[in-house]
Structure 1
Amino acid sequence: MPSSRFYAGEQDLRAMTRLVSEAHAAHGPQVECTVGDIDWRMYRNAFVRPEQNVRLWHDERGHLVGFAWGYVNGDVDLLIHPREHAATLMPQILEWAQAWFPTRGASGERPLHVWALESNTSMTRALEQQGWRRIEDCYLHLARPTADTGTAPLPPGYTVRNVRGPEETAARAEVHRRAFGTERVTTEVYQRVMGASHYRAHLDLVAEAPDGSLAALALCWLDPENGLGEFEPVATAPEHRRKGLAQALIQEGVRRMWKEGARTALVYAHAANPASVALYESAGFRVIDRNWGYVAP
C-alpha cells in the first residue's frame, strides 16, 4: 500500500521536481504543472507552508508517485505519476484534502476544488468513481512552438529586457504588485523567487517605461530535459496597458526559450478571463488541454 506524509524539506522539493519532469517525458506538455510551477508556488508569497499544505505519496519501494498541494482558498492541485496509481491514491488524497479543509463548503464559502486535466482520464475517472463532479470552471493550458521570433514593435521610449540582478529586486516586486493589485509579492518574497533552482535572470523579462520605471513583466521557466518553457506570470501595470507590452514580452520570451533549447512554450489562462486568453492566442498559443475543477458530492 502507498504511504503518505507531509513535505519535509529541500530533498522533497527535488523529488517533486523530478516527478514532474518524468511526467512530461511520458506525456509531453499535457501534464498538470511544470518544474517552474513548483518553484513559483513554493516561493511566490510569504504564506506558503509546505510542511502543512503539501502531502506526498510513496509506493512500497519508497518512490514518490504523487503529491497534493492545498491552498488557503480551497484549491488542491494534484500530480500522480505513473498515472495508473490514480485509482489507488485518489481515495487517500481526497480524504486528506477534506480533512485539511474541514470548514470548506460551509454556507457562503467557496467549496473545495480539486483540479484535474481533461486528458488525464486516469485521474478524472478516479475522481468520478469517488462521486466528485466536474464544474464549469477551468484553466486552459495553451502551447505554441518556440522560434526565433525577432522583436515586436514597442511604443516610443519603451524597451524590453531582463532584470539586471539582485539590485532590481525591489522594482521587480513593485511592478508585480501594481500589475496584479496584490501585496503578496514583497521585495523579500521576490528575493526568494530569484533564489529558486529553476530561476534564470535572463528569462525574467520586464518592459521598461520611458521614465525608467518597470511597466510589465513576464517570468519564463525552463525544463531543459524536456525542451519545455513556461510563462508564469505575465502582467502589465494598469497605467501601461493596451500598448502591446505583454505581447512584446511574450515574443522575446519565446525567442529566448528557443535559444535555450526549448521547443514548446506553455502558458495557463483562466477560461473566465477572455482578455488573457485573447492575448495568448494572439501570440500564437493554442489550447491543448483543460484543467477542470471537481467538487465533492
Structure 2
Amino acid sequence: MPTTRSDFSGPRDLGEMQAMCSRVWSPRARFHPGQLAWNRYSQPVEPDRVGADEAISLWRLGDEVVGFGWAEGPDWLELQVTPDHAEVARDVVDWFEDWSDAPRQSAVAMEGDSVEPVLHEAGFRPDRDGWHFTHHLLDLRELPPVPQVAGYRLRPVEQGEVAPRAAVHRAAWAEFGRSRVSAEAYAQVMQAWPYRSDLDWVACDREGRMVASVILWLDDVNGVALVEPVGCEPGHRRRGLAGAVTLAALHRSRELGAHTAQVSPRGDEDYPGPRRLYQALGFRPVARTVTWTRSLD
C-alpha cells in the first residue's frame, strides 16, 4: 500500500502526529508528544492553518501517520518518520525542497536515526561539533525529595491564572529576546493534549507572585513525562527554585503513573546551565541531535 501525503489542517492532524510520536517513542526518538504541543501552541496561532513562513505535511499509510515534516521556516526542517518506514524520509526531504526557496537549508535528526542516510543522499552534511540537544532520562524511582526554599511556595497552576502563568514564562526567558508566549498563546497550551494543570507548577514569592515555573507533559502510553520548559525570573535565580519546582512536578507525575522523565537541554558548551541543573537532579544523557545542512547555490 503506498503512502499518501496531506498538508496540515488543524488540531486533529497535530493529534495524529503526537500519536505517531507516542507509538514509536524511545530514548532515541526525536519527539515526545508534549514537545509537539509546546512547539505548536507556545505562540498565538490559528488552529486550522500554519503561519505564513512555515509548512507542515503528514504521510499516512492507510489511516496511520508514519511520518511528518515541519518546516519552521524556509531554511529549517524538523522531521520524524517511523523506524519501519524510513523511506518516507525521502518524500519529506523532497517536499521540503519543493516548498523552500532558501539557498541554505538545515534539518535536525537524532544521531544514528534512519533519516540520516536520506539527508546525506540529498546533499546535507552533518555538523557534529556544533550546537545540539541531548536527550536526558531520569528513573523516577530514584527521584530526590523536593527541597524547601525559604520564602517561596511551590504549587500547581490554578484555574484563571493564564495571564500570570504566561507572564512568568516571558520574564524567565526575556534575556533571549522577546517571547511570544502571550496569555492568548498560553490559553492554547492549556487546551492542548497532553497538558494537565496538575503538572504545570510554579514557585510563588511571599506576595504570591509567580517567579519560576515548569510544565511536564505526561505520555500515559509510555509512562514518560517530558520536562518542557523550565524558567526562573533573573531576580530569583541561584536559590534552587528551578530545581525545586521541577522536582515537585516530577513527584506529581510519578503519582500519576510516570516511571521515566525526559528533558532535552542543549548538549554543547555554549549554553551549559540547564544541562547542569538537570544532571544535578539525576538526569543522565542518552542520545543527541545532529544538525545537517546543505547549500543549493
| TM-score (normalised: structure 1) | 0.89
CA distance in 2, matches of 1:221, 1:284: 19
Question: Sequence identity of aligned pairs in percent?
Answer: 30
Q: What residue identity is the alignment partner of 1:20? A: C
Q: Which residue of 2 aligns with 1:68?
A: 69
Structure-to-structure mapping, 1:274-285, within 5 angstroms: 274-285=272-283
Match 1:296 to one of 291, 294, 297? 294
CA distance in 2, matches of 1:221, 1:54: 22
Shift, 1:14, TM fit: 2.3
Q: Which residue of 2 aligns with 1:170?
A: 163
CA distance in 2, matches of 1:119, 1:259: 34
Q: How many residues matched?
A: 282
1:125 aligned to 2:124?
no
4+ residue runs over 4 A deviation: none
**Contact 1:4–1:57 (Cα < 8 Å) also in 2:** yes
Q: What residue identity is the alignment partner of 1:163? A: V
Q: What residue identity is the alignment partner of 2:263? A: V
1:158 aligned to 2:152?
yes
CA distance in 1, matches of 2:98, 2:265: 29
CA distance in 1, matches of 2:261, 2:63: 33
Structure-to-structure mapping, 1:1-297, within 5 angstroms: 1-24=2-25, 28-47=26-45, 49-50=49-50, 53-59=55-61, 61-72=62-73, 74-81=75-82, 83-86=83-86, 88-105=87-104, 112-120=105-113, 122-135=114-127, 136-147=130-141, 149-154=144-149, 156-165=150-159, 167-181=160-174, 182-271=178-267, 272-297=270-295
CA distance in 1, matches of 2:168, 2:201: 12
User: Larger deviation: 194-203 or 95-104?
Assistant: 95-104
Deviation per CA, 1:151-197: give whole Å up to 9, x if none.
Answer: 2131x2111111112x1111000001111113301111111111112
Deviation per CA, 1:61-91: give whole Å up to 9, x if none.
Answer: 353210011213833211101x1422x2233
Shift, 1:95, TM fit: 2.3
Q: Which residue of 2 aligns with 1:108?
A: none
CA distance in 2, matches of 1:159, 1:74: 43
Deviation per CA, 1:210-257: give whole Å up to 9, x if none.
Answer: 222111111000001101001110111111111100110121122111
CA distance in 2, matches of 1:183, 1:130: 34
CA distance in 2, matches of 1:34, 1:84: 18
Q: What residue identity is the alignment partner of 1:161? A: R
Please list every run of 5 or more consecutive structure 1 residues that lacks an aligned counterpart in the other structure: 106-111
**Contact 1:142–1:287 (Cα < 8 Å) also in 2:** yes
Q: Aligned with 1:225: secondary structure?
A: coil
**Contact 2:250–2:261 (Cα < 8 Å) also in 1:** yes
Q: What residue identity is the alignment partner of 2:102? A: T
Deviation per CA, 1:255-293: give whole Å up to 9, x if none.
Answer: 111111111100011223111111111111111100111
RMSD across aligned C-alpha pairs, in angstroms?
1.8
